[in-house]
Amino acid sequence: MEATEIRKLAALEDTHWWYRERRALLARALRRLAADGRPPGAALDIGAAGGGNTRVLRAHGWRPVALEYSADGAAIAIERGLPVIRADARQLPLPSASLDLVVAFDILEHFDEDHLAAAEIRRTLRPGGTALIAVPCDMRLWSAHDVAVGHVRRYDRAGLAALMEKAGLVVDELWSWNVLLRPVAAWRRRRSTGSDLDDLPGLVNLGLRAVITAERYLPVRAMPGVSLMLRAHRPATDGAGPVRS
């Protein structure tokens, strides 16, 4: 992602409906891990940009590190008092089996070699550790927005699940997100000429936030959306070595 997009993201993420709800999804996943008897431990937020999700991890008791490739994103996270590593997700500078949780929201779609990033997630997770993944879905939604933000692809369910399984992870859940607003997104993307990361008028932002919040309580997770969310884990009984493709 270009430096201008990262700066724009960092400026918007505390108020924009999309980023607010994505952080709420992460918080809900963390509460579920706690309810399942998984105490907070060492966590990595891959592609952290300004560290919005890293702050959610910290607020829930995890010991997170923000991993960001760009100098701008890393600088913003440092300004916010977060521990930061500048590195490529395809070559994580962390020991094998050293993490309890890896979060990679809207990262894998930026790599031609997404399998390398997936393998690194598996390698750095401790046996039994959890991965939380988000990616844009459905190539029918491909637009100038994807080009502007540096996407290589959009995923379907089968492709995302296969990617994780080939890396040596077990998929626990796979569901759609941003389902109710998919028609709006499709309409806008057909007319887009660049990134749709915009500072929206207050009433528009509030209305979209209400719609995406309502989605939490509706049985729509199996329907087509704009994004896919996935929870997976590294098997508790597997070895410590990397999975080779």
Q: In the chain, pLDDT over 90 holds for what percent of residues?
A: 74
Does residue 63 have a pLDDT over 80? yes
pLDDT of residue 67: 96
Does residue 50 have a pLDDT over 70? yes
Query: In the predicted model, what is the mean pLDDT of the chain?
Result: 91
Nearest to 132 by CA among 63, 46, 52, 245: 46
Among 102-111, 201-210, 211-220, which is the least confidently predicted range? Answer: 201-210
CA dist 195 → 63, 70, 190 (Å): 32, 18, 12
pLDDT of residue 238: 77
pLDDT of residue 199: 66
pLDDT of residue 237: 85
State phi, psi for 166 to the nearest 5 degrees: -65, -30
pLDDT of residue 76: 86
Query: What does the pLDDT look like over 167-215, one tens digit per residue?
Result: 999 999 999 999 999 999 898 888 776 666 676 788 999 999 999 999 9
Strand pairing category for 99-105 and 42-46:
parallel
Query: What does the pLDDT look like over 127-138, one tens digit per residue?
Result: 999 999 999 999
pLDDT of residue 21: 94
pLDDT band at 240 (very low <50, low <70, confident <90, very high): low
pLDDT of residue 13: 78
List the chain domain ranges: 3-233
pLDDT of residue 245: 42
C-alpha span between 188 and 207 (Å, rounded):
16
C-alpha span between 57 and 38 (Å, rounded):
14
Nearest to 167 by CA among 88, 107, 233, 112: 233
Query: What does the pLDDT look like over 143-154, one tens digit per residue?
Result: 988 998 899 999
Q: In the chain, pLDDT over 70 holds for what percent of residues?
A: 90
pLDDT of residue 116: 98
Helix (H) / strand (E) element for 133: namely strand 125-136
User: Is the overall model pTM greater than 0.95, yes or no?
Assistant: no
DSSP state, 169? Answer: P
Tokens in use for 215? 């989605």
Per CATH, which fold does 3-233 belong to?
Rossmann fold (3.40.50)
pLDDT band at 244 (very low <50, low <70, confident <90, very high): very low
Of the two residues 12 and 180, the one the predictor is more confident about is 180
| Mean pLDDT to the nearest integer, 8-12 | 71
C-alpha span between 150 and 168 (Å, rounded):
27
Does residue 243 have a pLDDT over 60? no
